[in-house]
Copies of this chain bind each other. A is one copy, B any other.
Amino acid sequence: MFGSLSDPTRRDILKRLSRRSSSVGEIARHYDISFAGIAKHVDVLSRAGLVTKTRQGKEQIVEIVPEALANANGYLETYRNLWERRLDRLDAYLKKIK
């Protein structure tokens, strides 16, 4: 999941998809990379659960999955909170002994 976010092209695709869903070909048009290359990127995002693909005629429509982003968010928040709680405890301790 973080692995799929680690590539700048994929992050840019996500950014684009956060504005509007589009077909794989439509996405590919905006990049210098080959069509197959973009299809691979979309596949990575799809296997990470960050986007979904649904057939619509010839085209495959790609949509972002906001819940997946929320999950990643939650993950980061867990560690941040743990740490900040630690800092708070330290702070409280320092105040106490002062």
| Chain A residues proximal to chain B, CB less than 8 Å | 2-3, 5-6, 11, 14-15, 17-20, 64, 66, 69-70, 72-73, 76-77, 79-80, 82-84, 86-87
Q: For the complex formed, measure the closest distance between the CB of A21 and the CB atoms of chain B, giving whole angstroms.
A: 9
Copy total for this chain? 2
Contact A70 B66 (CB under 8 A): no
Which chain B residues lie closer than 8 Å to A77 at the CB level? Answer: 69, 73
* Inter-chain contacts of A76 with B (CB < 8 A): 69, 72-73, 76
Choose among B64, B72, B82 the residue that contacts A83 (Cβ–Cβ < 8 A): B64
Complexed CA–CA distance, A18 and B80 (Å): 7
Supply 7 further A-B pairs (C-beta < 8 A) apart from A18-B80, A69-B80, A69-B83. Answer: A2-B2, A2-B5, A2-B11, A14-B79, A18-B82, A69-B79, A72-B76
